[in-house]
Structure 1
Amino acid sequence: MNLTKDLIPQTTRVQPSRHHGHLGGAPLAAGRDTGIDLVRAFCVVVVVLLHALMAGVTVGGAGPEFVNAAEGTAWFTPLTWAVQVMPLFFVVGGFTGSIAFRRLRERGGTSVDFLAGRVHRLLLPAVFTIGAAGLGLAMLADGGVSAELVQTAGFRFGQPLWFLGAFLLCQALVPALSAAHDRAPLGSVLGLTAAAVVVDVLRIATGLEGIGFLNLAFVWLTLQQLGFFLADGRLDTLDRRTRAIAGLGAVALLAGSFLMGLFSPDLIENLNPPTLALLLVGVAQTALLSLVRPTLTRLSTRPRIEAAIGFVTARTMTIYLWHMPVLLAMAGATALLAMDTGLALPEPSSAAWWLTRPLWLGTAAALTTAAAWALAAGEQRRMPPPTTSVFRVAQAVLAGLAGVALLLVAGTTVFTATAAVGLFVVALRRIRR
């Protein structure tokens, strides 16, 4: 069995149908669900462009500063209603994880094989990216860059890494939660939803924001569970009117939560920590996806779109992990150019700033694409024979989560980057036979 091919987060072509009642249901057809791949590629592109739009650099009397160009602006909150794609990302992750796990089981694979494949695909590219980030921070410090600027660069690099930890956790629980879904589909998703509700109620009632970080598990796991309903065809058994009402109802509840002041209307702000607002966004996005999926499938078969999807799908984690270093390098180069030439950089949100955004976004997309093309070897590398020990693969997952948590809690520095790489290497060694 080619485990690298079978276990990477890719999808098989599953036409909308009646749901399979259990893991050993109707055999899966060969091929790919290109419509779902199109959605995932779209999510990746949106994340890169959104972060590029938020990346700002100014040069003042104290030198260059890296700033969030969207902070405090009037235009950003409405934009987040269209570009908050993380709920959809986890729904699609549930779809692909469920299909890949079922396909593996039908070929005689085990849950351990599945988990080893996920650890390999997610953490191997992270070793190279985080190692390069640590080396880059060391070079900046050695080159005389101020400690404050080096710290800011490390912070900006580490911000998107929450996704790596959350996605690793969710995918690690696919076998267990898939089994729960087969036994009690409504019970399992409602149980996770209830846990997310309790966390948010406690957070709001106590004012302790730290409690909300428990929803790094419950919110994303609930959305992943929605992907299981999409994968097994249960959503397709509902008529289009019912699905449309569910999606519109979620939007209405979301709007009501904004009016009552329960959640911020800035949907990006609801990421940190994750709130129930993202669950409502995910329900609406899932309903819409189920309605337009046949159209997306037809669109995804157009040659140019299909080629773009194939490029992104094979390099999803590489793109995600490397786009922030690309943006930081662009910001640094822009600051150096401004200081060397005396060129005045436009203030974020000014007319001049908006006029330069097409060039900035195009450059970010081109450089990220080049980085993905050149650096995807780690993500595409063949996985060695995996361990058959549940204990060893559980250790691998925990080591990977610990590495991400270290970077998020302590910040990305030369020391923490080195320690995180060490933990990822330990994880990768534990999954080997």
Structure 2
Amino acid sequence: MPKRSRDSTIPRDTTAVSSLDLSKRDLTLDLARVFCVLLVVVIHLLFIGVGRDAEGALVISRPLEEQSWFDAATWVGQIMPLFFVVGGFASITAWRSNVRRGGTAADYVKTRVLRLAQPAFPLFLFYVVVISGATLLAIAPELVATVVVGAGAPLWFIAAYTLCQTLIPVMVRLHERFARRTVGVLLLGVVLVDAARYVFDVKQLGYLNMVFVWLLVQQVGFWYADGWFARRAWWQLVAIIGACYGGLWLLTAVGPYNTDMLDMLNPPTLPLVLLGLAQACALRLLRPALAKLMSTHAARAVVFLVGTRLMTIYLWHLPVIIILAGLALLIPGASPEPASPAWWWSRILVYLLVLGVLFALSLLVGRWEQPIEAGPTPPIWVDVVAAALTFAPTFLVIEYFLGLGLAIAGAACLGVAILLLGRWPQRWGSTRDVRAEHA
């Protein structure tokens, strides 16, 4: 059975919210993003149980994973594919808007990579300080490693989404010229990579599916944006959902895949593709109800408030949860025994507290979610280098986990990427940028 990993994390789609007029946006997709991020916070909150054993030693457990219904719940609760579907919709829309304005692939990639590298940069700096401080204070290395590995888990998404966003200009062009063939080739890639991984029992081979799985699910978002799902009758969408879950049952009952869909995340596998397609159909079926909800001022206000802070919520929620859990141990009665009835009920209050702390934190680090517009757009090869610098340390977190060395390397790589994209010298800027500045 594959090694379990708890990376069911999902942030906001970092494509430009402000680049599209509100009247032209599908607000149900903004609602879906917000729902997914808030659900991830709930899941991770229920995953982390901090208590003490009979001898008073600190014990970290996974109460949610211990439930008998856990695996079945992941068939619904694994919402990472839905994010890439929604991200695909937003990305192709933003790319076409960029093209209409005369923008280039370099313009697009610069903005998207910045919106991933910038929010991750202060988090890596935070880990450098925290891990260095824990080392100087001689805190138990095993405890520090356990906490940091868990807290750093969401960083894998930066790698996956950087890859997808960097390839948007290419993937949109393929979609517009060879839509079906592109899906077919990507699907074949997914199957071949999974086959090689399980036949040769080499987990590392599966990481090639960071390309095939997530690009394929992103393509589903392209089809959603082009109206393919809107043209399907409701019963057809239901039939597709049924077929996807039927295929999922077959893959887990007969095939090599785990019934825990969170375990299928890193490396990503074929079941995530089926989940992504089913979730796209479900999103379309729910669209009338979601649109009605988003017609209210209250829903729009909540989605706007949370939506402008989604990367902060995503990247920082695990450190906040862990810190609050540690502080609760210092307050008599504030830390019920994990998995006890009192612990389950206390999660409601703790969840609200976590969101409150994240909102306050967003006032400090939220500015890193805003793109840097200073300076001209660099050549496309510089964008690619910056994307690689953003991808590398966040990808390495998946395999080698977060430690002091990787935290330092990540902060350095992201810092260089931000400088390359945000402060590119004028003389190296694109001709279009130079002309625009002199206009």
1:36 aligns with 2:25: no
CA apart distance, 1:102:
0.4
Q: How does 1:129-144 map to 2 (within 5 A)?
A: 129-144=123-138
Corresponding residue for 1:398? 388
CA apart distance, 1:235:
2.5
Report the more deviating stretch, 326-335 or 48-57.
326-335
Corresponding residue for 1:383? 373
Supply the distance in 2 between the matched residues of 1:273 and 1:409 (Cα, whole angstroms).
Answer: 10
Corresponding residue for 2:48? 55
1:417 aligns with 2:385: no
1:44 maps to amino acid: V
Corresponding residue for 1:225? 219
Supply the distance in 2 between the matched residues of 1:421 and 1:206 (Cα, whole angstroms).
Answer: 35
Cα pair distance change 1:29/1:329, threshold 3 Å: closer
Contact 1:11 1:37 in 2 (8 A): no
Corresponding residue for 1:18? none
Corresponding residue for 1:4? none
Contact 1:35 1:297 in 2 (8 A): yes
Q: Deviations over 1:242-283 (max 9, x none)?
A: 222212211111122232253222111111321111111111
1:320 aligns with 2:310: no
Supply the distance in 2 between the matched residues of 1:319 and 1:89 (Cα, whole angstroms).
Answer: 15
1:127 maps to amino acid: F
Contact 2:49 2:63 in 1 (8 A): yes
Aligned match of 2:245 in 247, 251, 259?
A: 251
Corresponding residue for 1:305? 299
1:293 maps to amino acid: R
Supply the distance in 2 between the matched residues of 1:47 and 1:232 (Cα, whole angstroms).
Answer: 28
User: Under a length normalisation based on structure 2, what TM-score does the superposition of the two structures give?
Assistant: 0.87
CA apart distance, 1:146:
1.2
Report the more deviating stretch, 170-179 or 258-267.
258-267
Report the more deviating stretch, 385-394 or 158-167.
385-394
Aligned match of 2:165 in 171, 174, 180?
A: 171
CA apart distance, 1:155:
0.6
User: Under a length normalisation based on structure 1, what TM-score does the superposition of the two structures give?
Assistant: 0.88
1:131 maps to amino acid: L
2:245 maps to amino acid: V
Contact 2:156 2:394 in 1 (8 A): yes
Cα pair distance change 1:300/1:374, threshold 3 Å: farther
Supply the distance in 2 between the matched residues of 1:244 and 1:228 (Cα, whole angstroms).
Answer: 20
Cα pair distance change 1:418/1:233, threshold 3 Å: same
1:284 aligns with 2:274: no
1:355 aligns with 2:348: no
Corresponding residue for 2:83? 89
Q: Deviations over 1:403-430 (max 9, x none)?
A: 2123333332233212111101111122
Supply the distance in 2 between the matched residues of 1:30 and 1:357 (Cα, whole angstroms).
Answer: 37
Corresponding residue for 1:20? none
Aligned match of 1:239 in 233, 237, 259?
A: 233
Give ranges in structure 1 of 5+ residues lacking alignment.
1-6, 14-27
1:10 aligns with 2:48: no
CA apart distance, 1:62:
6.4
Identity %, equivalent residues: 33
Report the more deviating stretch, 174-183 or 68-77.
68-77
Supply the distance in 1 between the matched residues of 2:403 and 2:421 (Cα, whole angstroms).
Answer: 27
Q: Deviations over 1:70-106 (max 9, x none)?
A: 3343132232223211000000010111000100110
1:113 maps to amino acid: D
CA apart distance, 1:329:
0.7
CA apart distance, 1:292:
2.2
1:67 aligns with 2:61: yes
Q: CA RMSD in A?
A: 2.2
Q: Deviations over 1:351-395 (max 9, x none)?
A: 332232222323223322332344211102543234241111110
Cα pair distance change 1:415/1:38, threshold 3 Å: same
Aligned match of 2:38 in 35, 38, 45?
A: 45
Corresponding residue for 2:139? 145
Cα pair distance change 1:214/1:96, threshold 3 Å: same
Contact 2:203 2:267 in 1 (8 A): yes
Q: How does 1:363-378 map to 2 (within 5 A)?
A: 363-378=353-368
1:122 maps to amino acid: L
Corresponding residue for 2:116? 122
Aligned residue pairs total 409
CA apart distance, 1:228:
0.3
CA apart distance, 1:67:
2.9
Secondary structure of the 1:235 match is coil
Supply the distance in 2 between the matched residues of 1:189 and 1:312 (Cα, whole angstroms).
Answer: 33
Cα pair distance change 1:430/1:12, threshold 3 Å: closer
Secondary structure of the 2:133 match is helix
1:189 aligns with 2:183: yes
Secondary structure of the 1:290 match is helix
Supply the distance in 2 between the matched residues of 1:12 and 1:258 (Cα, whole angstroms).
Answer: 42
CA apart distance, 1:151:
1.3
Report the more deviating stretch, 278-287 or 298-307.
298-307
1:101 aligns with 2:104: no
Contact 1:161 1:404 in 2 (8 A): yes
CA apart distance, 1:216:
1.8
Supply the distance in 1 between the matched residues of 2:223 and 2:286 (Cα, whole angstroms).
Answer: 16
1:34 maps to amino acid: L
